[in-house]
Structure 1
Amino acid sequence: MSLPEGYFSQNESKMRKLTKSLYGLKQAPRMWNEKLVGVLLELGFNQSKSDYSLFVKSINSALIILLVYVDDIIVTGNDANEINNVKELLKSKFMIKDLGLLKYFIGIEVIRSQFGICLSQRKYCMELLTEFGLSGCKPVNTPIGQHFAVMNFCKKDESVLTNITGYQRLVGKLIYLYHTRPDISHSVQFLSQFMHKPTNSHMQLALRVLRYLKRSPGKGILLSKGTSFHLTAFADSDWGKCLDSRRSVTGFCIFLGNSLVSWKSKKHGTVSRSSAEAEYRAMCATTCEIMWLLNILKELKVPINLPIELFCDNTAAISIAANPVFHDRTKHFEIDLFFLREKISARIIKTVATESNKQLADVFTKGLLANQHDMMCSLLKMHDMFGH
């Protein structure tokens, strides 16, 4: 270590022993990130403006992509020689260990097959079931009941859960789990709203999600092989879903080719006065995600055909998006109105009507029947590599 600027001690010859590890200091992660970013920029990488953990290097026809999570790094590209060069350059700067072909990363297992690559968290899921004593439980077919809103979740006289820490720990782990399990997104979104004051009913629902996971703990997202890189989006909303605040729930999913790459289930920040308004706001939220994905794909040199189809099952919302004339029922959400219409007029987005039974975002806004839920999981390209 070098002494800090301004420090001076005459005839100083003693060594200093650290009583605290550098990894324990608050500034250590920041300093490590600055050092790593500086080295990567020196090596010719460009840091993504859309995702600061992504670095891209383009040399003639070779494209090298590097993804950083703290001190874990994934390197990929279309030129094996350039990838090896990057590894050697990193070895000259840091003490690194090459773990070979990607198989496991931050709790996500990467499984290769003839169909493509499957991202699964089976080990994490099995450990979660064991931790909460449900490794031998009887599984259920859905993570949340179709009519759960009429149950006791919104009663004011419900007894508050005594073990709040256990509930928070469970929901926190479920939040990490749905990075590869979009089928539990709506359930986890609902449960995470009550982290500060959960009730016994909320805990029972959280345990039901675990019982659902027991049915197929190895299920994950299948990134299938293909030559098409077109983006397709589905947006949906359940109007007035929350019985306490009457706010709606937005759900969307976006496909790159045949592979699901982005999804979300989230309660609106404001109350919508009509189902058309709720659906329109869902379309705006989906458009924001599409714009971010377009920026990422542009930096990765992936050409995308425009306009991007945005499927919605509400004809009133589609009409509002297409009609430039203001109506009394739309003037109170003026900013969203301009935002989506601007993207449609620029031919970035193209709204397309779809039937309700073909709306893939349904699973992100409400509980479904078992056969509907299974069909949606299949259409979302979820696959269990460990199933029989």
Structure 2
Amino acid sequence: MTRAVVKQYDFVTAFLNAPTDREIFMEQPQGHVKRGYEDWVCLLKRSIYGLRQSPRNWNSTLHLALVEFGFQRCIKDEALYWIRVESRLVLLPIYVDDILIIGCEEDVDFIAAKLMARFNMKELGTVNYLLGLQIEYKPERHVIFRQTKYVQDIMQKFHMDAAYPVSIPMTTDAVKLIPATEDEQKRDERLPYRSLVGCMQYLVIGSRPELATAIRILSKFLNKYSAVHWRAAKRVLRYLIGSQDMGLHYDLVEARKSEKLHVEVYTDANFASEGGDMKSVSGFTVYCNGQLISAKSWKQDIIAESTCEAELIAANTGAHDAVWLEQLVDELQLPRVATELYCDSSSARELMKHAGKHRRTKQLRIKDLKIREYVAENGMVVKPVASKENVADMLTKPLPVETFRRHRAQLGVRASGSAAMSGADESSWHEKNAE
């Protein structure tokens, strides 16, 4: 699928296509009461909007139709369907009543025609806006995801239109933030802190993964915040004001250089770094052919006794995401090479490769050693990476300006036409770490 088209479709009154899965009665609607039968009720035959089971009934109806057309539902992602038409792959992701059909134009139009014969469906053309994401798709060059309009809406909602922008979302001393006292909480409880943090969370999963650390830190204080935390949250918004045109870039030219898919995962941990609980923070990024697939920043659920243990927990969790992607690629019958995992801790790398009981590692949980199985049986390759080149570092703690900008570019977040990191520069970064 080297030059695929991506067309968007919308089902009109989707839920009404689905029959009910049980006997349901309803009162006659106002203005449509039948004379002489005022005390009668209606037997509902279709899943109307407002019923709790309507979304599930619609999903089941659409699923049966797609299976009838020859599609298979992905085991690893039940919102993704796929089919091969004369060896050509066609993908069909769904979100309630919105679908995309991805493949060569002839196949896409053929499948859309079959669906339109079954359902009332509108074609919206090449995808450019979906679920709050502005999408720029150039088949020969790139895909860009932006949320500029969403950022502008947040700015207006919190009256920050005229605020001065800043270079980074959070200063390095933000890890010292502590929960507000009861008096501070009562004094500042009217501040819309929860609302602002909640609005910015969607940016992290949409097109701005570089915000993950800042939003994770702010989210710790949703129940105990004060004016100090409010100012920290507003700083993130000021960062967005200056970078609202940035988006997540996927370089299709670079991605197509390899005939096989190549999964890479970068992991890192910040040992006992935040708060009084002494728990470590983990981060990982997963790439496919040099393009970001997933990124995560989270606090570990146990207290690690050493940097090695913290790094091992982070690597194990990052490997889970990489294995999920491997299984999805295999299910779609796409060729791939062995996955590479990059970690900047030599002791953690040795524990991943070699089994053995050591005095300081006896307490490691079995689930945190799952990565050994991935290395021994799945063929995952563990490699070193310099700490300053480990992009996962930005998901474990706030960074100074230059380091933050460098890792942000490595994630693929930049403005259109930005010279922060061209496709060639990003390619050389991956190649450098692969050596």
Consecutive unaligned residues in structure 1, runs of 5 or more: none
Residue identity (%): 27
Equivalent runs, 1:237-256 vs 2, <5 Å? 237-256=269-288
Distance 1:41 1:167 in 2: 46
Q: Which moved more, 1:100-109 or 1:55-64?
A: 55-64
Equivalent runs, 1:80-159 vs 2, <5 Å? 80-113=105-138, 115-150=141-176, 152-154=177-179, 156=181, 159=184
Please tell me whether the aligned partners of residues 118 and 222 of structure 1 are also in contact (alpha carbons under 8 angstroms): yes
Distance 2:403 2:369 in 1: 35
Q: 2:377 aligns with which of 329, 346, 351?
A: 346
Residue in 2 that maps onto 1:187: 214
Residue in 1 that maps onto 2:196: 170
Query: Structure 1 residue 372 and structure 2 residue 398: aligned?
Result: no
Aligned length: 380
Distance 1:82 1:99 in 2: 17
Please tell me whether the aligned partners of residues 189 and 225 of structure 2 are also in contact (alpha carbons under 8 angstroms): no
Residue in 1 that maps onto 2:84: 58
Distance 1:5 1:209, change over 3 A: closer
Distance 1:28 1:236, change over 3 A: same
Q: TM-score, normalised by structure 1?
A: 0.91
Q: Which moved more, 1:139-148 or 1:100-109?
A: 139-148
Distance 1:160 1:5, change over 3 A: closer
Please tell me whether the aligned partners of residues 310 and 352 of structure 1 are also in contact (alpha carbons under 8 angstroms): yes
Distance 1:96 1:245 in 2: 53
1:339-365 residue CA offsets vs partner (Å, 9 max, x unmatched): 111111125321111111111101101
AA aligned to 2:171 is: G
Distance 1:373 1:158 in 2: 35
Q: 1:213 aligns with which of 240, 244, 250?
A: 240
Per-residue deviation, 1:115: 4.1
Find the residue that maps to 2:155 and give its secondary structure. helix
Residue in 2 that maps onto 1:46: 72
Query: Structure 1 residue 316 and structure 2 residue 324: aligned?
Result: no
Per-residue deviation, 1:304: 1.2
Distance 1:158 1:277 in 2: 39
Distance 1:18 1:185 in 2: 49
Please tell me whether the aligned partners of residues 353 and 376 of structure 2 are also in contact (alpha carbons under 8 angstroms): no
Residue in 2 that maps onto 1:326: 357
Please tell me whether the aligned partners of residues 181 and 224 of structure 2 are also in contact (alpha carbons under 8 angstroms): no
Distance 1:312 1:156 in 2: 39
Distance 1:44 1:347, change over 3 A: closer
Residue in 1 that maps onto 2:429: none
Distance 1:5 1:368 in 2: 59
Q: TM-score, normalised by structure 2?
A: 0.81
Equivalent runs, 1:28-43 vs 2, <5 Å? 28-43=54-69
Distance 1:199 1:375 in 2: 32
AA aligned to 2:414 is: H
Per-residue deviation, 1:153: 2.4
Residue in 2 that maps onto 1:278: 310
Find the residue that maps to 1:75 and give its secondary structure. strand
Find the residue that maps to 2:285 and give its secondary structure. strand
Find the residue that maps to 2:49 and give its secondary structure. helix
Find the residue that maps to 1:246 and give its secondary structure. coil
Please tell me whether the aligned partners of residues 56 and 299 of structure 1 are also in contact (alpha carbons under 8 angstroms): no
Please tell me whether the aligned partners of residues 236 and 282 of structure 1 are also in contact (alpha carbons under 8 angstroms): yes
1:85-114 residue CA offsets vs partner (Å, 9 max, x unmatched): 211111122111000101111011111356
Q: Where has structure 1 moved over 3 Å in runs of 4 or more?
A: 1-7, 12-19, 112-115, 154-158, 161-165
Please tell me whether the aligned partners of residues 189 and 226 of structure 2 are also in contact (alpha carbons under 8 angstroms): no
Per-residue deviation, 1:167: 2.0
Please tell me whether the aligned partners of residues 164 and 197 of structure 1 are also in contact (alpha carbons under 8 angstroms): no
Query: Structure 1 residue 359 and structure 2 residue 390: aligned?
Result: yes
1:237-284 residue CA offsets vs partner (Å, 9 max, x unmatched): 111122131111110011111211110001111111111100000000
Distance 1:197 1:23, change over 3 A: farther
Q: CA RMSD in A?
A: 2.6
Distance 1:25 1:164, change over 3 A: farther
Distance 1:197 1:386 in 2: 42
Per-residue deviation, 1:60: 2.3
